[in-house]
Structure 1
Amino acid sequence: MNSFQIAGRLTRGALTDGGATVPMDGGEVPGIGYMVGVGGIKLLAAQFSEAQLEERIRHWADSVRLSTGLAADRLYLGSWLDEGLIYLDISEHYQSEALALAVAEVRGEKAIYSLATGVSIDVAAPVSV
C-alpha cells in the first residue's frame, strides 16, 4: 500500500467512520489484541478541505515510514475524529491486555484500544499515597 492509499484510508476513515487503522507492512489489521499509541499529531478538521487533509496525512505517513525504528509487522497508523480534531497516531499491536496497559502507562497514553470489542480501555491513573 502506498502513501496515497494510506492517506486516503486514514482521511476517509476519520471523516466518515470516526476512525481507521492501516497496517504499515501492507498486511491486515488483526481482529484481536490491543493497540497502544506511540505518538502522533492532531489536525483541526474544519481548517482544511478533505483533499488538503489527505495531503497533510500523506506527508505525515511518509515521515513515519522513514523515521520509526519499530518493527513494521507490529506497527499501524491510526486516525480518529474527536470534537472536530483529527488525531493521527502510530500504534503498536499487543496480544496481552496487561502488557498493552503497562506499555501505554509508560508512554503516557490515556487509553488502549481493544480490536476484539472496538472499545477504548482507559489506562488507570497511578494511585498516590
Structure 2
Amino acid sequence: MPDIYDRAKAAVTRMLTPRSKGGKGLELSLVRVTTGEYDPEIGGGQVTTEQFDGSGLRQSYRQQDIDGSLIKQGDVKILISPVLFDGTDTPQPVTLDKITFDGDTYTVQHVDPWDYAGVAVGFSVQARK
C-alpha cells in the first residue's frame, strides 16, 4: 500500500504535467554540464553534458521578496516535477545547472528540495536569466 509521501509525489507529478497532457505545467529541460579531472594531454578536463526532460511551473517572486542580493529583479521560481518524461526520478538540480523553460534559459541559483522521509516530492528552484 502506498504511503502518504508516494501519494504526494504522484499528486505533484499530475499537477506539474504539461498542459497538453492535462496538467498545469510546461515542458522543461534540465541541463547539467560537468568537467572531469584535469588531463594534460587535452589541456583540461573532459566535459560531459546531460539533459533531463521533464515538466514544471514558473512563478514570479513577489516584489517584497526581492532584496537585490539573494533574490534579484527578474529571478523566477520554477517548481520541477519529481518524475521525468521517461518515468525515472528527476535528479536534484544543483547550483549552475541550466533550465530551458518556455523558450528561455535560466541558471539555477538555489534549490529547495521537497524531500519527505527520503521521497523527493518535487523541487523549488530559484533561477536567473
TM over 0.5: no
Could you say which structure has the larger radius of gyration? 2
Tell me: higher relative CO, structure 1 or 2? Use CA pairs within 8 A at least 6 residues apart.
Answer: 1
Greater strand share, structure number: 2
TM-score of the pair, normalised by structure 2: 0.25
TM-score of the pair, normalised by structure 1: 0.25
Greater helix share, structure number: 1
